Amino acid sequence: METSRRWQFKICVIGDGYVGKTSIRRKYLGQGFRSNYIPSLGVDFAQKTVMYGDESVRLVIWDIAGQPQFQSLRKRYYEGCSGLVLVYSTVDKESFDSVTKWLVEAKGFMQDLPALIIVGNKIDLRSYHPKENIISYEEGLEFTKKLSERLETSSIFIETSALTGENIDKAFDKLTRLMINPKEYQTITTMHEVPVGIVEKNQPSESTSFTPTTPSNEPVAETPLTKDIALFQEDEIGQDMTELIELRAKLKEAEDEFRDFSLEIETKLLNLKNTVHVKKIMYEHLRQQITQTRQEWADAYDEHVELDKQKKVEVEQRLTRFENIRKQIDNIEASVRKRVHDLDLEKRIN
């Protein structure tokens, strides 16, 4: 059974929120563009199998949320990453300024940066925005060149539109080639400098032929027995050839079934592995949150008990004070009544 080499790469798509990361991934996977964008909930992953020449390449694409609330989870998402797609919006200066921040984060988590492609997305919106908000192609290219020299890593720059699909496939094709063969590109390349296309390799064609033996120059006496033997041999060869063709067809069918079965199982295993990995990270994060919440709850309860004690003491003290004041009032009132009564008696006597 012939086997071809198979590759598998994990690609992380990073960048600020609302720059089009999810739309780029969906467009590349053929799921269409969604204008009612919903921010990614932490991470989402999908996969696609492409051909690099005669070699099968499986791309596992992780769409990492850019919102600040997911920053504590992102470290685990970078593990095993073979390629980075760093996206900014060509009509959002702030997202372009954040490119350096994202690379610093990625390098801090991975030490050595993998194959990198910087994508300026939303070029279809340039005509609808003021010039001061637009990042030109030249700015993106110059930034990528300087960045590549500073970090000493192979980088590719390209501009795309997730709405129209412009250069989406080319971006992932270039990144795939860079991951498989980094030497194919210079330190910095652009979509205009390197022709894009599938590397074609000569694939041997399988053919089966039957070459008859060269007849001898000597005449052979033809008898009825000789004719029968020749016909019998030709019949046998024909039967063998038919059986051989049938067996080859069965073998190819069995190989195709096995390949489909293997691919289906591997796909399910990969999805389950990624799901388990993400759920484990989410579980650890939730456990930390539960621990923190439990401590906050205990602190709040202790504070409530202490404040309740203080309240009881304060109430008791104030009630005692009120009682003392009432007693003083009663005493003064009794003294006043007595004096008034004495005065009345003196007036009557006089």
Residues 157 and 78 in one domain: yes
For the residues 148-162, what does the mean pLDDT come to? 87
Inter-axis angle of helices 21-28 and 168-180, to 10 degrees?
80
Same domain for 165 and 250?
no
155 vs 194: CA distance, rounded Å: 13
Asked whether 16 and 86 are in contact (CB, 8 A), the reply is no
114 in the same domain as 56:
yes
Is 297 contained in some domain? yes
User: Is 208 within a domain?
Assistant: no
Please tell me whether residues 251 and 330 are part of one structural domain. yes
89 and 181 both lie in a single domain: yes
Query: Same structural domain for residues 230 and 185?
Result: no
Distance from C-alpha of 252 to C-alpha of 270, rounded to nearest angstrom: 26
Domain membership of residue 260 as a residue range: 224-350
Higher pLDDT, 49 or 211: 49
Q: What is the pLDDT of residues 273-315, one digit of tens each?
A: 888 887 888 788 888 889 989 999 999 999 999 999 999 999 9
- pTM of the full structure: 0.58
Domains in the chain, number:
2
Same domain, 178 and 298: no
Is 211 within the bounds of a domain? no
Q: Could you tell me the CATH number of the domain that includes residue 158?
A: 3.40.50.300
* CA angle at 109 for the pair 104 and 114, rounded to the nearest 5°: 80
**235 and 188 belong to one structural domain:** no
Buried b / exposed e over 255-285, threshold 16 CB at 10 Å, is eeeeeeeeeeeeeeeeeeebeebbeebeeee
For residue 199, the tally of other CB atoms under 10 A from its CB is 13
| Domain-embedded: residue 216 | no
pLDDT tens column, 126-138: 999 998 899 999 9
